Structure 1
Amino acid sequence: MNTTKTAVHFTDNYLLNPTNPISVNLIGAGGTGSKVLTALMEINESLISLGHAGLQVRLWDDDVITSANLGIQRFAESETGLYKSVALINRCNRWAGTNWKAETVKFEKDNFGRLPEKSRATITITCVDNVQARFDVAEILKETSYRRHYQDEPRYWLDFGNSRDTGQVILSTIGEIKQPNSEKYETVESLPSIIDEFGELLKQSEQEDNTPSCSLAEALEHQDLFINSSLAQMGCSLLWNLFRKGMTEYKGFFHNLKDFRTQPIKVA
């Protein structure tokens, strides 16, 4: 008789019944980030309707909107020249009555090695387009986790990444999340980050061309029109299940839009 237990990760209790909205740092407001922000609005509205405190999002991006961003990214021609983070957050706040914040700087240490202000958040979501940015975020999260405060204690990191028509989403814990005793499941308190698990592969891919596109047509040569939105929807579904179900059997997935295949990554 097979008695192998299913490995699962139970959501940190603070996310399920918080006193205040859960703080979220969303890093990157481009093709994926702009669509993840829309999904976060939907999660926020749904959580509040269920009696939850909801989310408090801070969007980080120092880039401005150009004509190449129209179509793939969630921007209008009238927003050209504005900061991406400001345009998106203003739109969210007008639509949902939220008080979410925009940062027009990179999420990185300054020249003196100091952490960015407001870098602490319960959940960090990265939608960045280069490898070094992920390593920088990992270093900042590691450092902020050492500075123990109850409010905005870093607990989870959700990373989105893609190439032309493939991508992945990886959920990790920041430190160990205390798990309940369970006779039915094998509980897992620590989920490795994309750096811990795929750091060497990321370094090998660092040589890929990340030159900004000058037009939408050129941008479409670098990535498929719907790779960002399909990743955003599925990745935010993983986040939603952390809140709604209080547990997950999966810590992410690999996604191939070209042949419509998705391979889940199980908690282990």
Structure 2
Amino acid sequence: MIAAPDFITNYSVSGWQKMKIIVVGAGGTGSALLNKLFQMHMTLINLGAQGFDVRVFDDDIVSPSNIGRQSFWPCDLGLPKVEVLVSRYNQFGGVNWSAITRKFEADDARGDTIIFGCVDNVEGRKAIHEAVQKERNIVWIDAGNDSRSANVFLGMSAKTNNKHCYLPTVYDLFKSQMDAPIANPEPSCSTAEAVARQDYGINDIAAFHAVQMLWGFIRHGQTEYQGVTIDLRSGVTTPVPADAEMWAMFGFVNSAIAA
């Protein structure tokens, strides 16, 4: 079990300020996650809370392979992804979220913030990890996937029960892969190529599990696991516990999460 950081607990109890959220990436997983965040935002508003203050970072534009498969329409072709998505929620949902048409940088994050990582490249994850190291009270929920499987991992550097707690991030757990010289994937030119790379539904499932971890913190004050692995082939979703032995299996040798 992982207790909610104090800044999330304070949000849940006070209900007088909006929770700061950053979404890095507005593609398949990011666009699906934004929809779920808006649903959660409205649920919290109806429960008497202030909802979310969301900033979305992405420097990509809508391509033909994004139409329909992601949350984009034919009229969006060639437009910045973040501007398309955020403007719809602002216009039709009554929110005032922010679209930033560039890549996320570590200095973009400040304390008391939830960061959702929805990028398919190492560069983006390194920037988020740097933000976690620089700032206190940052929670990073990373959602990554390949064609038919996905991983969602929670990491944080935040006060919990008035003590600083460090939970290893996806960068810590997969550091050897993160530091390896891996070329970023080329954009898909067709829907067939895109579906071959990311099968239908995998982004939506990863997004659901990512926001569910935040909901556990807000509504229940805890989450029962640090991550999940998802396999579309077998239909099996497996929770990953927050456990020093598990971290060692991934190569993370520092077993102390409190300082």
- TM superposition score normalised by structure 2: 0.85
Q: Among 237, 240, 244, which residue is 1:262 paired with?
A: 237
Question: Larger deviation: 128-137 or 10-19?
Answer: 10-19
Is the 2:11–2:17 Cα contact (8 Å) retained in structure 1? no
Give the secondary structure class of the aligned counterpart of 1:63: coil
Aligned-partner residue type, residue 218 of structure 1: E
SS in 2 for 1:140: helix
Render the CA deviation track for 1:82-123: whole Å, top value 9, x for unaligned.
1100000011112210011100011126xxxxx34xx32611
| Distance in structure 2 (CA, Å) of the matches to 1:36 and 1:178 | 29
CA contact (8 A) 1:25 1:59 kept: yes
Question: In structure 1, what residue type is equivalent to 2:204?
Answer: S
Q: 2:58 aligned with 1:61, yes or no? A: yes
Q: Which residue of 2 aligns with 1:250?
A: 225
| 2:174 pairs with one of 186, 198, 202 | 198
Question: Are the counterparts in 2 of residues 155 and 173 from structure 1 also a CA contact under 8 Å?
Answer: yes
The answer to whether 1:226 aligns with 2:201 is yes
Structure 2 partner of 1:3:
none
Q: Is the 8 A contact 1:64 1:84 kept in 2?
A: yes
Residue aligned with 2:134, SS = helix
- Which residue of 230, 237, 253 maps to 2:212? 237
Offset at residue 216 of structure 1 (A): 1.1
SS at match of 1:170: strand
> What code does the residue aligned with 1:94 have?
Q
Percent identity among equivalent residues?
34
SS in 1 for 2:213: helix
Q: Is the 8 A contact 1:9 1:179 kept in 2?
A: no
Corresponding residue to 2:133 among 142, 158, 161: 142
Q: Quick check: which one's helix share is greater?
A: 2
Counterpart of 2:124 (choices 111, 133, 144) is 133
Question: Using a 3 Å threshold, how does the CA distance of structure 1 residues 51 and 44 change in structure 2: closer, same or farther?
Answer: same
Q: In structure 1, what is the Cα distance between the partners aligned to 2:17 and 2:4?
A: 21
Whether 2:152 is the aligned partner of 1:169: answer yes
Q: Please give the root-mean-square deviation of Cα atoms over the aligned residues, in Å.
A: 2.0
Question: What amino acid is aligned across from residue 135 of structure 1 in structure 2?
Answer: K
In 2, Cα distance between equivalents of 1:77 and 1:164: 24
Query: Residue in 2 aligned with 1:41?
Result: 38
The answer to whether the 8 A contact 1:9-1:267 is kept is no
Report the 3-state secondary structure (helix = DSSP H, G, I; strand = E; otherwise coil) of the residue aligned with 1:190: strand
Equivalent in the alignment of 2:255: none
Whose radius of gyration is greater, 1 or 2? Answer: 1
The structure-2 alpha-carbon separation of the partners of 1:141 and 1:11, relative to structure 1 and needing over 3 Å to count, comes to closer
Q: In terms of mean alpha carbon deviation, does 167-176 or 51-60 score higher?
A: 167-176
Q: Which residue of structure 2 aligns with residue 112 of structure 1?
A: none
Structure-2 change in CA distance of 1:46 and 1:251 (3 Å): same
Deviations 1:20-69 (A, max 9, x none): 10010101000000000000001100111111111110111111111111
Match in the other structure for 1:20: 17
SS of aligned partner of 1:65: coil
CA distance in 2, matches of 1:197, 1:35: 25
Task: Please say if residues 26 and 125 of structure 1, whose CA atoms lie closer than 8 Å, have aligned partners that are also in contact.
Answer: yes
Q: Which residue of 2 aligns with 1:77?
A: 74
CA-to-aligned-CA distance 1:214-238 (integer Å, 9 cap, x gap): 1111111211011101111122112
Call closer, same or farther: CA 1:190–1:143 in 2, change over 3 Å. Answer: closer
Amino acid at match of 1:48: I
